[in-house]
Amino acid sequence: MKLIECVPNFSEGRDRGVIDAIAAEIRGTPGAVLLDVDPGAATNRTVVTFIGTPDAVEEAAFRAIRKAAQLIDMAGHRGEHPRLGATDVCPFVPVQGATMDDCVEVARRLGRRVGEELGIPVYLYEAAATRPERRSLADIRKGEYEALPMKHQDPAFVPDFGPNTFHASAGATVIGAREFLIAYNVNLNTRDKKLANSIAQEIREAGKTKKAPDGTRQTVPGRFAHCRAVGWYIEEFGRAQVSINLTNYKVTPVHAVFEACREEAERRGLRVTGSELVGLIPREALLAAGDHFLAKQGKTTASPRKSACTPPSFLSACPILPRSMPPRKSSSTGTRARRRGSWPPPSARSQTSCRATLLPPGAAASLHCAARCPPLCRPWWRR
């Protein structure tokens, strides 16, 4: 059986009614399994993860994009994260039995349907891109939603599907096919976004620019390949954050980036106070982090792995999983509250299986589900 993962990002992270309505469209699609819904208030963005057969994920994605276009008005949207439309980006990822070509085919079919039936401009990116300059999501998204009226007048910005006109409420949507991406954020004990961004420039592949002795500007590469990063301030945490996308965790593992952030923070008189994952992460990446920190502590890395989930030794050893949460703003009262307690929470300690086990035997065995295994997929415990 071919299985494909879909990770659409919607430009709504505060209105739970809208988020639930979009998730319901996916949950109600036969053959699609909703794995995770991860909203962010400061970014005003929700990352949804689901999996299924090619036809099922294509249909679920279309229903979700249609619902988002009905409920989200980009004209009034504000948030920390760059975005183009109500459904900002919708990537497909091969998981089991499926190839990248399968994902490209799904992405292009979906793009044509969204453009023709919903009248939303669609741009194809990464492996599904129709031209080299559109492989990068960041390049397509330059100027964000606010620049769309002007960009639609540029012949080079004609969409792959849909009308070449500004859609005031839905904006534009970017659809594509890519390998697994880990969205990972590191918190700092500062409110200064500039300091967070300076750390991001040190670790990201694109690096930074500096003035040469002859007066010209030159690019200094960052520490890690397959790493994109930016610094921003997150109001709900009350601190600055280094927001990171890892596009190849086998080349640039999560724990190496975490350690680098700690080093760069110390050079600036700062401390890393925690980190968080957005969405899901491959099991292999978590186990590699566990092995790394166990080895640093002089402990064995040969813990028995009897279940589909990460062994308890990893949970106690890995500093990527913090022991307490930062203050979070309550949406109902507007006040801040800190939850304390041992890690993982008692309700999660006995968890021995993942949501992925609801799929056919062996399907998505490398994926953990944040809804069923929160301590393994999200360092911050979410209610």
Phi first, then psi, for residue 217 (nearest 5°) are -95, 135
**Cα(285)–Cα(190) distance, integer angstroms:** 28
Catalytic machinery residues:
81
**208: which 2 tokens?**
């930074």
DSSP symbol at 280: -
Contact between 51 and 364 (Cβ < 8 Å): yes
Residues 6+ apart with CB under 8 A from 60: 6, 25, 26, 29, 32, 50, 52
Give me the DSSP letters along 86-143: SEEEEEEEEEES--HHHHHHHHHHHHHHHHHHH---EEEEETT-SSGGGS-HHHHTTT
Residue 56, Cβ density class (10 Å: 0-12 exposed, 13-18 middle, ≥19 buried)? buried
Whole-angstrom CA distances from 362 to 141, 343, 347, 358, 372 are 37, 29, 26, 10, 17
Residue 89, Cβ density class (10 Å: 0-12 exposed, 13-18 middle, ≥19 buried)? buried
**145: which 2 tokens?**
């939603």
Count CA atoms within 13 Å of residue 100 on its CB side.
10
Phi first, then psi, for residue 102 (nearest 5°) are -60, -40
218 forms beta bridges with 210
